[in-house]
Amino acid sequence: MKPQDEPAGDGLPELRSAVQAMTPRLHGMVSRTDAGQIAAEVLRLNDAVRAGVQGRIIPGSHPQDHPTLMACARDALPAGGPAPTLPEGSLAQASAMVRAGATSAEALTRQALARAAEVQPALNPFIAIWGERALEQAREYDRELAQGRWRGPLHGIPLAHKDCFTRTGLPMTVGSKVFPDRPGDADAAVLQRLRDAGAIDLGPLNLSEMVSGPTGQNPHWGDCCNAHDPSRVAGGSSSGSAVAVAAGAVFGSLGSDTGGSIRLPASMNGVYGLKTTYGLVSRRGCFPRAWSLDCIGPLARTPLDCALILQAVAGHDEGDPSSLHAEVPGYAASVAGGAPDTRVALLEGLDPYDDAIAAALHAYAARATEVFGPIAHVRFDDLPACYAMGDVIAKVEGAATHGEWMRRTPERYSQAVYSRTEPGLHIPAVRYAEALLARAGLLQAWLAGPMAQSDVVVCPTVPIQVPTRAEADMEGKGRVFGVVAAITRLTRAFNYLGLPVLSVPIGRDENGMPIGAQLIGRPLSEARLLAVAHALQGGQA
């Protein structure tokens, strides 16, 4: 992963000089990044968006066209089928045991706390472990069950979540040292819904600083390390979520995803991670990376476990202006149905990616052929344009979020996050507006292209093998843009399109590290994606 080359041609020297002169004048801050690197990144994104929007914007276009199209193009999957077998150690199995009285919420919580304490020194998935608070919750739920009240499948189940959600009376770090250690005023919408469903909260999980980074490395709270090899990155930014689940400290977790932040760590740690349809899950009380792209979703060890968590948190919230008015199906029942008539396609034209990843993907495609019949081979040549436009939106909205803090306390930011944010100060406003306006047209192109031949499209999650922490270090001069691009090349575009994507484990490389694939669907097709993953679970290496 080498720094990206600076583009040649007219404009770079002039823009470099402008960045040097105008950063303090226009934005009131001192640049901490080489002006040439910023200029190169701005020119690259500017040119990519200019090319990508050609023919995509017509008079009368509006950013609201995108959510309107999403609602019209939603997928529908009939629920039904026999109850699935409950895998050993799964959330679903633990839930059945709690309800039957074979174990208790307190017993499960004590086991989870013991495992969390065991893995914390080597893997560092937690920001904090709130043991007594979790045990108090567990005892409360055990009393309720003894009195005949069962809140549902999450009753008494120990979970933990990425530290980007507010909690009443408790601090939120967002993996940073920028914020004062002050308590939250209210629970995030998703945490309140989980609480209402009976879930237990073990504590906040580690993450990339400011939910911004694909590796899980964090200079403030310590790196979160891969559950299979601590010398390798965990993926980010929902690093602690994937590691805590993979290491067996919790049965599931909520993360957030702006450019791959649920799917990347899920892939690198060998668990399931669902980036939901934009607007399906409320973001009220979730710290933003880019409000036009951010999605919340579950990470767990099985598709059914993801379905049970999603069931509790999905649905409209008046407190989130981007929340969709969408019916929430029975996700667990859909998983049991198996989606037998699903058409599966393999997304091609994404080379290069590692040979081990190609081999695992080939084997997974063969398994899909056995279960669902012949698969189609599809292309989407606009994927790089979607990536670039998602990158522009993330950088501009990130700069808007962080600008004031960067002016006041620049020393509290790592170099990597500061450098990733600075280009957003200089991207022309018209490029940002064009990226938003072209969104509906590019979504329509995806629906009329790959999705016209299929219900689920498959491609790798990460195109490279899991790097070591040294290989992926982003603090070195000029490294951050190359590292981010190498890891997120196949994930960011689907945030821009707003589609649901499930990362599933499909094998391991020669180093024993997990390999993941993305299952991509139509808007609101989470039920189908989970059902397909469940049907193909037996093909996992």
- Measuring CA to CA, how many Å separate 480 from each of 33, 215, 316, 319, 414? 11, 11, 37, 35, 11
DSSP 170: B
Q: Is 237 a catalytic residue?
A: yes
Contact 517, 291 (CB under 8 A): no
CB atoms within 10 A of CB 125: 32
For the record, the structure tokens of 367 come out as: 């398994």
Q: Is 261 a catalytic residue?
A: yes
Contact 234, 215 (CB under 8 A): yes
Return d(Cα 537, Cα 541) in angstroms, integer: 9
Nearest to 243 by CA among 161, 130, 133, 357: 161
Catalytic residue among 208, 256, 261, 503: 261
Query: What do you get for the CA distance between the two ends of the chain, in Å?
Result: 27
Beta strand pairing call for 456-460 and 252-257: unpaired
Residue whose pair of structure tokens reads 């895998």 in the numeric block = 87
Contact 245, 269 (CB under 8 A): yes
Catalytic residue among 90, 237, 292, 323: 237
Contact 220, 177 (CB under 8 A): yes
Beta strand pairing call for 501-508 and 514-521: antiparallel
Return d(Cα 77, Cα 70) in angstroms, integer: 16
- Measuring CA to CA, how many Å separate 473 from each of 219, 236, 469, 492, 533? 11, 13, 6, 20, 33
157: left (phi over 0), alpha (psi -120 to 50) or beta: beta
25, β-bridge pairs: none
Written as one letter, the residue type at 315 is: G
For the record, the structure tokens of 300 come out as: 């767990």
Contact 273, 297 (CB under 8 A): yes
Contact 72, 440 (CB under 8 A): no
Contact 151, 99 (CB under 8 A): no
Task: Write phi, then psi, for 231 (nearest 5 degrees).
Answer: -80, -10
Catalytic residue among 31, 90, 104, 162: 162
For the record, the structure tokens of 83 come out as: 């109850």
CB atoms within 10 A of CB 182: 9
Return d(Cα 185, Cα 308) in angstroms, integer: 28
For the record, the structure tokens of 470 come out as: 């040294």
Burial class of residue 260, CB neighbours in 10 A (0-12, 13-18, 19+): buried
Cα dihedral across residues 151, 155, 159, 160: positive or negative: positive
Return d(Cα 361, Cα 350) in angstroms, integer: 12
Q: Which residues are catalytic?
A: 162, 237, 261
